[in-house]
Chains A and B, each alone.
Chain A
Amino acid sequence: MATLVLDNGAYTAKIGYSLEKVSVIPNCQFRSKNSRLKTFTANQLDEIKDPSGLFYILPFQKGYLVNWDVQRKVWDHLFGKEMFKVDFADTSIIITEPYFNFTSIQESMNEILFEEYQFQSALRINGGSLSAHHCFHSKPSELCCLVVDSGFSFTHIAPYCRSKKLNHGIRRINVGGKLLTNHLKEIISYRQLHVMDETHVINQVKEDVCYVSQQFYKDMEIAQLRGEDNDLMRDYVLPDFSAIKKGFCKPREEMVFSGKYKTGEQILRLVNERFAVPETLFHPSDIGIQEMGIPEAIVDSVQSLPEEMQPHLYQNIVLTGGNMLFPGFRERLEAELRSLVPAHLPVSVLLPPNPVCHAWEGGKLLAHSPDFDEMVVTREEYEENGHCVCEDKFDI
């Protein structure tokens, strides 16, 4: 029997069989200006030659699965003959859900997995629990671990002790990659060029130029300098999807510091936007969200837990999710925690090689662990006992 691991994110699905490698695929549908009648599903995005003004249809809202029509279209595509060719009767699925997932969504999930697709068995679990499993698996001597998962919809801080999730310590910050991209879109549109319709393009700009500052006010000073002294300034060449397929930063030596470019490309000049946007993860109140930033929320979470656990949590903090790809994130978080946490406690923040797929890799390890068979619910068990057997076994 095969096990399919699906970390079902609100922006991308991380999917693959437990003996194979992972694929990262858009978990949504698209429509484009140039082929308005067609709806593109998941990786059919690659067929869209001109994705300017790309329209997104997302199955998730605020991190929770609400649009099942879209989700099933994506899953039909992923499970179908074009992609994973799932033999449902002979396949077990590990699928992730957000923390504190709503009861009705959990029940819909059971129905769709067991009644619609008819998987042989299923394990529904939080993505963070897979990351924690990854951690306890690779370092069996660790007692605790604190997963910081910052994705598309929000950021969670989730403590684990001896592979048990500590629900009381979970904190959610309503800042994720979608909000950061929308914020960048908004300030660019106000300051230089209307790009409100260009989520896809500006998301790429964010990934290409944004970083987490190590000295925020110092960088603000540098960003105010004129001309060549301003080494934070970047000129980003926007794609036109004919000659320029993908945007890029002008090489330093080709930058024109005063006056206009004569090359006719469309250019965005990015300065304080580069680090002020990711800064929202550290200070949500900068844009009016009255919530703690990540370092403060980590301390709030750890302090809510028994004192003997606290040192173990601070020295084993694991970063997962797409926002961890901002350069400088780990260093900044470690430095801020160092100043917030009592000096006698060691602080250690770990950035896995692939933070986006870390949970998926944890799921892959779990599929081969001796406990796995005990953790799943089989279709037979579901047909006999309905939702209660899932409620008993799954820790969501």
Chain B
Amino acid sequence: RPQKKIAGQRRVLDEATRQRRLTRQLEALEKDNFQDDPLSSLPPPGPTARLPAFSETEEPGKRKTRGDHFKQRFRKNFTALLEEENLSERPEPNYLSAAAPPSSLPPRHFCCVCGFPSHYTCSTCGGRYCSCKCLSTHRETRCLKWTL
């Protein structure tokens, strides 16, 4: 099998890169949408057309909220709000301390191509595979060129 020769030429991803890849995969699982907002993919409006800028519009006759300060406070994302809470200085229990600790059970391994239990680890990226067939699919698709 030509694997040995190829292995000699193949780049091996270091631990930090592998971790970054995993983090990116897990972040992708948090996304609300994969595609772009259909509104933003419209062609640019003509000189007279006015797009309803989402979340900026105040319908006429609606009760207005208080000043800019108030509005600002309603525009923070999760990370900003979490930082603002300054939980590391606050007494427990809190949002951070409530996170379930890591499992004490041994990790289970599944083929990253077909999802069945796997016994082998890709020497390049650390991904798991179950058979030669899945390994070659993995190398052709994701191994060094992960795209989601």
Residues of A within 8 A of B107 (CB): 285
Interface residues on chain B, size class: 35 or more
Q: How far is the CA of A272 from the CA of B65 in the complex (A)?
A: 51
Distance A287 CA – B27 CA, assembled complex (angstroms): 12
Interface residues of B in 3-41 (CB under 8 A from A): 22, 25-26, 28-35, 37-39, 41
**Bound Cα distance from A56 to B116, whole angstroms:** 32
Interface positions of A (Cβ within 8 A of B): 31-33, 36-37, 39, 53, 55-58, 61-62, 64, 66-70, 99-100, 102-105, 108, 111, 116, 157, 167-168, 170-174, 178-179, 182-183, 185-187, 190-191, 196-197, 199, 217, 220, 223-224, 272-273, 276, 283-293, 296-297, 300
Taking a contact as CB atoms closer than 8 A, the residue among B29, B82, B110, B141 that contacts A179 in the complex is B29
B122 to chain A, nearest CB (A): 15
Contact A292 B34 (CB under 8 A): no
CB distance B38 to A291 under 8 Å?
Answer: no
A31 to B28: give the CA distance in the assembly, Å: 21
Q: Residue-by-residue, is B76-118 near A (CB-CB < 8 Å gives 1, otherwise 0)? A: 1110011011000000111100111111110110100111110
Bound: A67/B80 CA distance, A: 13
Alpha-carbon distance A139/B116, docked complex (angstroms): 44
Contact of A291 with B99 in the complex, beta carbons under 8 Å: yes
Q: Which residues of B contact A288 (CB under 8 A)?
A: 22, 25-26
Chain A hits for B26, CB < 8 A: 287-289
Which of chain A's residues have a CB closer than 8 A to the CB of B113?
A: 190-191
Instruction: Pull 20 A–B residue pairs with CB atoms less than 8 Å apart, ordered by A.
Output: A36-B38, A53-B35, A64-B78, A64-B81, A105-B81, A167-B93, A171-B99, A179-B29, A182-B30, A186-B29, A187-B115, A191-B113, A196-B34, A217-B117, A223-B116, A285-B102, A288-B22, A292-B101, A297-B100, A300-B101
The smallest beta-carbon distance between A384 and chain B, in angstroms, is 19
Q: Is A100's CB under 8 angstroms from B108's CB? A: no
B73 proximal to A (CB < 8 A): yes
For residue A65, give the distance in angstroms from its CB to the closest CB of chain B: 9
Other than the known A172-B100, A182-B29, what 15 A-B pairs have Cβ atoms closer than 8 Å? A32-B38, A37-B42, A100-B98, A102-B84, A104-B81, A111-B70, A157-B100, A170-B93, A186-B29, A190-B113, A191-B114, A191-B115, A285-B105, A291-B101, A291-B103
Assess whether B2 is interfacial by the CB under 8 Å rule. Answer: no
Cβ of A220 and Cβ of B108 under 8 Å apart? no
How far, in angstroms, from A296 to B102 measured CA to CA in the complex?
Answer: 10
Complex Cα–Cα for A376 and B81 (A): 26
Whether A182 and B103, one on each chain, are in contact in the complex, defined by CB atoms closer than 8 angstroms, is no
Chain A CB within 8 A of B1 CB: no
Q: Does B51 contact A (CB under 8 A)?
A: yes
Q: Nearest chain A CB to B46's CB is how many angstroms away?
A: 14
Inter-chain contact A197/B34, CB cutoff 8 Å: yes
* Cβ distance B39 to chain A, nearest Cβ, rounded Å: 5
CB distance from B59 to the nearest CB of A (A): 9
Are A296 and B105 CB-contacts (below 8 A) given A37-B39, A172-B98, A199-B33? Answer: yes
Q: Is the CB of B99 within 8 A of A168?
A: no
A37 to B29, CA, bound (A): 28
Chain A residue numbers with a CB within 8 Å of B116 are: 220, 223-224, 272
Given A39-B54, A69-B55, A296-B105, also A31-B39 (CB < 8 A)? yes
Query: Shortest CB–CB separation between residue B79 and chain A, in angstroms?
Result: 9
Establish whether residues B73 and A66, one from each chain, have CB atoms under 8 Å apart when the complex forms. Answer: no
Beta-carbon contact of A290 and B103 below 8 Å: yes
- In the assembled complex, the CB of A323 is this many whole angstroms from the nearest CB of chain B, namely 15
Q: How far apart are A99's CB and chain B's nearest CB, in angstroms?
A: 7
In chain B, positions 44-88 with a C-beta closer than 8 Å to chain A are: 51-52, 54-55, 63, 65, 70, 73-78, 81-82, 84-85
Instruction: Decide if B132 is an interface residue (CB 8 Å cutoff).
Output: no
Task: Give the residue name and chain of the B residue nearest to A297 (CB).
Answer: B100
A337 to chain B minimum Cβ distance, whole angstroms, is 14
* Complex contact B115–A62 (CB within 8 A): no
Nearest CB of B to A37, in Å? 7
